[in-house]
């Protein structure tokens, strides 16, 4: 079968489209014929060989994907051959890599994909959807009627945060830097779409919240925005950090004055019960139509290196997906 194979760590040029040995499902495993795979920042970090998890070489990247069940191993009862499914690889679970025509993974990673959700949309779930759900409901404990500021809403995770928050009855303010990004945030259902908030535009957000500030801020670039977030957040509010690329100096007195919380989020910290809650919540929102992943750039599998290059440069909005023939 065809797959992307990495034989040495490095940059995007190390992603090689080649023939590899076909994968076979063992006991408790499922083999899926893939038609799309999601591209995540963690995939690029792993490729460098300096990430928290370093796979043994050679390996096929990718933890998210969607396709049709081709074979099941012994003791698999949650899916059947021919089912449309999406792959969401949970921490420590077995997966041969979704940048391939076929993947074999633990049965716990395979979930039904509703007919109205395309394979590309299914591949956009996994890490983005689990991250969005954890940030909103397990870290921020979002309540209906609260206001959420999604500070950087036009990416694969941010757009799903917007949809999930709206489905839960929240008012959503989404920010983006480019017209095409703002259009996607509006499409996702945000009540207000605006430029990224800076020191100079704090009052604009406060005016949208009767001067009180948002109850929850979802932050994707904390090393730039955290000080601004502290000035924006409501009393007893919660700032959830999903993304960060460096250090920042802040005045802790701002947190003291508001008695607000700064919360980090990382999927690998979720316990089994939290992971199951997330998956059940995501599937329910898919079925109801509340969650409908928005796809940005789509490239064929052989151009995986180009996808990583675009990811590194921050090019594009929406979720980046690889199409698999």
State how far Cα 312 lies from the chain centre.
16
Number of neighbours of residue 173 by Cβ within 10 angstroms: 26
Q: Are residues 261 and 160 in the same domain?
A: yes
pLDDT tens track for 75-111 = 999 999 999 999 999 777 899 999 999 999 999 999 9
279 in any annotated domain: no
Strands 110-112 and 84-88 come out as antiparallel
Q: Are residues 197 and 226 in the same domain?
A: yes
**Partners of 298 in the β-ladder:** 321
pLDDT tens track for 182-222 = 999 999 999 999 999 998 899 999 999 999 999 999 999 99
- What does the pLDDT read at residue 91? 73
Q: Are residues 135 and 197 in the same domain?
A: yes
27 in any annotated domain: yes
Statement: residue 52 has pLDDT above 90: no
Q: Are residues 118 and 172 in the same domain?
A: no
Q: Are residues 232 and 172 in the same domain?
A: yes
Strands 171-175 and 147-151 come out as parallel
Q: Are residues 110 and 162 in the same domain?
A: no
pLDDT tens track for 267-286 = 989 998 999 999 999 999 99
Tokens of 165: 């928050």
C-alpha 45/C-alpha 50 separation (Å) is 7
Q: Are residues 193 and 248 in the same domain?
A: yes
Strands 261-264 and 238-241 come out as parallel
Read off the pLDDT band of 20 (50, 70, 90): very high
Q: Provide the 8-state DSSP code for 169.
A: T
Q: Are residues 119 and 135 in the same domain?
A: no
Number of structural domains in the chain: 2
Q: Are residues 119 and 141 in the same domain?
A: no
Can you give the residue range of the structural domain that contains 183? Answer: 128-268
Task: Give the phi and the psi of residue 270 in degrees, each rounded to 5.
Answer: -70, 135
75 in any annotated domain: yes
Tokens of 152: 């950087």
Number of neighbours of residue 284 by Cβ within 10 angstroms: 12
Q: CA distances (Å), 235 to each of 97, 135, 217, in order? A: 44, 19, 12
pTM score of the predicted model: 0.95
Q: Are residues 305 and 235 in the same domain?
A: no
Q: Are residues 226 and 309 in the same domain?
A: no
CATH number at residue 297: 3.90.180.10
């Amino acid at each position: 079968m065809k797959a992307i194979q990495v034989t040495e760590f490095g940059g995007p040029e190390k992603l090689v489209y080649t023939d590899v040995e076909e994968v076979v499902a063992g006991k408790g495993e499922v083999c899926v014929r893939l038609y799309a795979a999601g591209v995540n920042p963690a995939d690029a970090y792993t490729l460098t060989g300096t990430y928290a998890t370093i796979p043994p070489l050679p390996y096929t990247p990718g933890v998210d994907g969607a396709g049709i069940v081709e074979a099941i191993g012994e003791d698999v009862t949650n899916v059947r051959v021919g089912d449309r499914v999406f792959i969401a690889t949970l921490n420590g679970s077995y997966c041969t890599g979704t940048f391939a025509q076929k993947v074999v993974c633990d049965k716990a990673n395979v979930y039904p994909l509703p007919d109205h959700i395309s394979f590309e949309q299914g591949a956009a779930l996994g890490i983005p959807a689990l991250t969005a759900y954890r940030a909103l409901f397990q870290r921020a404990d979002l309540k209906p009627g609260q206001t959420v500021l999604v500070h950087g809403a036009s990416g694969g995770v941010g757009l799903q945060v917007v949809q999930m928050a709206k489905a839960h009855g929240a008012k959503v303010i989404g920010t983006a830097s480019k017209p095409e990004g703002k259009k996607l945030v509006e499409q996702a259902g945000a009540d207000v779409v605006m430029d990224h908030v800076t020191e100079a535009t704090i009052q604009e957000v406060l005016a949208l919240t009767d001067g009180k500030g948002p109850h929850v801020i979802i932050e994707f670039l904390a090393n730039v925005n955290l000080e601004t977030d502290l000035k924006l957040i409501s009393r007893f509010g919660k700032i959830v950090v999903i993304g960060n690329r460096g250090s920042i100096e802040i005045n802790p007195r701002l947190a003291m004055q508001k008695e607000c919380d700064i919360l980090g989020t990382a999927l690998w910290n979720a316990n089994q019960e939290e992971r199951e809650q997330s998956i059940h919540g995501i599937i329910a929102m898919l079925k109801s139509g509340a969650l409908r992943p928005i796809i940005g750039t789509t490239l064929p599998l052989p151009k995986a290196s180009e996808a990583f290059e675009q990811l590194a440069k921050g090019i594009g909005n929406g979720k980046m997906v690889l199409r698999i023939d």
